[in-house]
Amino acid sequence: MRPFSSEPSGARRRPTVRLELHCLMCGAVAGILEDRRVVRPALPGSVRYDGRRLSCGRCGSGLIPGDEVREPDGWRENPESNR
């Protein structure tokens, strides 16, 4: 008999929480904040980081987190697949 010790590492996969970073002044979505730690700029240089806080790369104003972008389960799968 085999012991079922074939647990894949990292089996618990948390969904990534993404927040849109809106600029206070120009209202543009400068980037996406992932898991409250990783910042992904929408465009190269669209998010500035001065050591303490994030600011808009266009006008230099502050960024506020906006809507949460959620990825529901199975969002990658195409529901319109015909059989």
Residues that bind Zn ion (CB under 5 A): 23, 25-26, 56, 58-59, 61
Q: How far is the CB of 11 from Zn ion (least distance, A)?
A: 41
Residue 38 vs 59, nearer CB to Zn ion: 59
* 60 backbone φψ class: left, alpha, beta (φ>0; ψ -120 to 50): left
Q: Rounded to whole angstroms, how far apart are CA atoms 36 and 32?
A: 9
Q: How far is the CB of 39 from Zn ion (least distance, A)?
A: 15
Residue 25 vs 29, nearer CB to Zn ion: 25
